[in-house]
Structure 1
Amino acid sequence: MTKINKNQRTEAVLELVIESYLKLGIPISSKFIVAESEINASPATIRNVMMGLESDGLIFSPHTSAGRIPTTAGLRYYVNQLLSFASADNGVLQQLSASLEKTRTPPEMCNKAARMIADMTNLTGLVAMPKTNNIIIRQLELVRLADQRLLCVLIDQHDEVQNRVIDLPFVVTDELLQTTLHMLNSALAGFSLDEGQKRLAYFMKQSSEQVQALVKEALFGDSVELNEQVLFRAGETRLIHDEIANDTASLRKVLKSVSSINTLQPLFSACCSSPNIHVFIGDEIGIESLRNCSIVAKSFYKDNKVAGVMAVVGPKRMDYQSVILSVDLSTNILTSALNHQQ
């Protein structure tokens, strides 16, 4: 991070430039600072301070005027100060947590949490929930779509359905289809994925080579895998913002990026490395289409293990203090609700 001269006047000027720009969206001048603040200094003195901040790479002039706006480094310095003071209000946390706990399943909780954080910040809310091997499989189905194409359906104890279409290198007879389906349900139905993995290995050894071949094609190997992550989104229309994208093609790329768990995965993985709030500004996100955005994110937990990541996406000129506190509060709420689930 860029180092700055640690004196009260410099800190106050930098803070005022950033906060005024975030609120007003215009370059901030020395005259504005003198008029709007309690800093006891002349415009000439303030200009000298601003020149020093510009030399340190924390603010810059977007055009030939006396006004300055923060650079990404300046925003990063400001955000780091906010992060050191972020904390959620316990009273509000308990109230909202009780509301979220009324939701029946973890996916429903995550979907509701995405809407909650989007409404709290008036920005775009994302919640990514990684795959879990703790769900109980209620039933599997193999449905013939053609001689060499099947639809594989997995239904869990919450009636959540996941399916995939598979193309086979061989023709499947009705007898083989029914035999394989019976074996899969005998091995997996009523058990968690972790338990089912062990049972399936035993059942496979007792099955014919044809059944084994079909199981490996249907399940992509000798194990059952769910989708790696599910991404819940809310408030995507709030990304229609001139500061994020000013043409239709760019907007499409932005919307596509926040809809793709694969695109966001590296960023979310970084958030799982610690329980802290993470703020990514502009190019720090590492996604070209989101270079005009900032993302505030934090992981949430179940049974003391990372259960997913909540994030807010918006323009770089966002109310960082409010958003950071909202994300901190909401992830704590979701953590509490997940761990009180029956």
Structure 2
Amino acid sequence: MQDDRRLAVLRAIVEDYVATQEPVGSKALVERHSLGVSPATVRNDMAALEEEGFITQPHTSAGRIPTDKGYRLFVDRLTTLKPMTVAEKRAIATFLDGAVDLDDVVHRSVRLLSQLTRQVAVVQYPTLSRSTVRHVELVALAPNRVLVVLILSTGRVEQRLVELEQPISDDDLADIRTAVHRAVIGETIAAALTALRGVDQGGAALSPVVATLVDAMSDHRSDERVVVGGTANLARYGDSFDVDVRPLLEALEEHVVLLKLLGEAHSGGVMVRIGHEGPYEELASTSVVSTGYGPGDEALASLGIVGPTRMDYPGTMVAVRAVARYVSRILDEA
């Protein structure tokens, strides 16, 4: 009972501090929350929580604020997450369903996530090496010119022109299309590359088509691309960061840093890294909430938010998970 009550006190402190940005005192807790105990008991519980490192007193005679350890216990003991409103769900569906291609999906997602959470949103482009080949189309633009269109499970589309030394007939193009389809459709990029190199390249027309597909599949330019949105949201926190906000602003310009902050793409659960749990000591005043996304149960990339440790963790976790699910659905239906 005592542990449950102290957890309730900690939860109330976290919620009040996130909402008010002010250290929380015992009197305020009793007035705002139905804790069912006397102010003296609340003070004793706060003293115990402070001794165990879950809360701290920033100034003499001030109230208490949560520590990283306190936020961690709060997040780990969440039993329910605040559901999204009908309006929020409708806004997500309407906004993302209007996307026309992968670039549009990524940019819409980062804007939406930053608006929902009022944090800095980060969305990684789907990793090419984890995707599979969904479709290959060969279109004759001229007797000796063919457009090769490669569509991956990530929604990524690559288009390349192939110049042939000799004109190609419709029948020969159909044969090449069949051979390519047999080799690559449904295969991972690595398996597709191996299969393509094993395709008979004896024909004058087939060889350049295969070479073009190999080149398109080997293009890893997007594997470390991320899009950032909502940087202006940092301004609303003022000086509530424990340290200078400049390291975070600098980190937002480094894609490698952002990818490490997001962590490995993982499907299903939402990962929360609080303060010093992150990979960079200079960003110890920030937390990251992230998850993976991709078609089906496969996580091809990560998305999430970066913000101060004083954040609405339940609401943020719900928003990150919801956007990831909608993006995954879009990629699955593409």
Deviations 1:143-182 (A, max 9, x none): xxxxxxxxxxx986689679xxxxxxxxxxxxxxx99xxx
Is structure 2 residue 18 aligned with structure 1 residue 19? no
Q: CA deviation at 1:7?
A: 3.3
Cα deviation digits, residues 287-322 of structure 1 (max 9, x gap): 223211111111122033112212011111112222
Distance in 2 of aligned mates of 1:202 and 1:81: 55
Question: Which of 240, 243, 262 matches 2:240?
Answer: 243
Residue number among 243, 255, 260 corresponding to 1:261 in the alignment: 255
1:301 aligns with 2:315: no
> Which residue of 83, 101, 106 corresponds with 1:105?
101
Q: Please tell me the residue identity of whatever aligns with 1:78.
A: F
Tell me which amino acid in the other structure corresponds to 1:134: V
| Structural mapping, 1:1-342, within 5 Å | 5-8=2-5, 10-82=6-78, 84-86=79-81, 93=89, 96-128=92-124, 129-131=126-128, 132-134=131-133, 193=189, 195-200=192-197, 224-227=218-221, 228-240=223-235, 241=237, 242-244=239-241, 247=244, 251=246, 253-272=247-266, 274-341=267-334
Tell me the distance in 1 between the aligned counterparts of 2:242 and 2:43: 33
Give the 3 Å change call, closer, same or farther, for CA 86–294 of structure 1 in structure 2.
same
TM-score, normalised with respect to structure 1: 0.70
Question: 1:234–1:133: structure 2 CA closer, same or farther, 3 Å change rule?
Answer: same
Pairwise CA distance, 1:15? 1.7
- Any conservation in 2 of the 1:239–1:255 contact (CA below 8 Å)? no
Q: Under a length normalisation based on structure 2, what TM-score does the superposition of the two structures give? A: 0.71
Q: CA deviation at 1:238?
A: 2.1
Aligned-partner residue type, residue 103 of structure 1:
A
Moved more, 85-94 or 113-122: 85-94
Taking the aligned partners of 1:319 and 1:17, their CA distance within structure 2 comes to 12
Give 5+ residue unaligned stretches, structure 2: 139-147, 165-175, 205-210
Residues 3-46 of structure 1: CA deviation (Å, up to 9, x unaligned): x94233x2332222111111112221122223333334443332
Aligned length: 293
Q: 1:210-239: CA deviations, max 9, x gaps?
A: xxxxx9xx97xxx82413232121112223
Alignment partners' CA distance in 2, 1:301 and 1:87: 24
Question: 1:97–1:334: 8 Å Cα contact kept in structure 2?
Answer: no
Sort the Cα spacing of 1:201 and 1:94 in 2 relative to 1 into closer, same or farther, 3 A.
farther
Secondary structure of 2:226 counterpart: strand
